[in-house]
Amino acid sequence: MANTVFEMVIEVIFWIFLILFVIQVILKITENSPSLEMIIVSIQTLIVSYLLVASFKVAYFMGKTNEFMNNSRESFKRIREDIKVVKEDIKIIKEKLST
């Protein structure tokens, strides 16, 4: 559900680092080539890429929330204006009924 190209690229990078990390851990468990430092570096890059994905999603959500708040404010302004018009109409009706 990537909304933009930037988000899609960040998620692809995250999944690539996740796959590389899993491969390195499997190689380390089977006593093959990666050193502990390489695994630590891959963990750090995995965390950084995850933080990028999470921060982008939070920023996107904040933007949607601000947009919703602005739309809500505008709709409340329109409702107030409509209520004023209804009040004026009710006053006119009261005056006509009282005479």
Unique residue bearing structure tokens 């209520």: 83
Predicted confidence (pLDDT) per residue in 16-74, tens digit: 888 888 888 888 888 877 777 877 888 888 888 888 888 888 887 887 888 888 888 88
Model's pTM, two decimal places?
0.53
For residues 43 and 21, the answer to whether their CB atoms sit within 8 Å is yes
Query: Rounded CA gap, 92 and 81, in Å?
Result: 17
At 86 the pLDDT is: 92
Nearest to 38 by CA among 27, 53, 51, 52: 27
| Averaged pLDDT for residues 75-90 | 89
For the record, the structure tokens of 27 come out as 């190689």
Phi-psi region of 34 (alpha: psi -120 to 50; beta: other; left: phi over 0): beta
For residues 84 and 27, the answer to whether their CB atoms sit within 8 Å is no
| Averaged pLDDT for residues 86-97 | 90
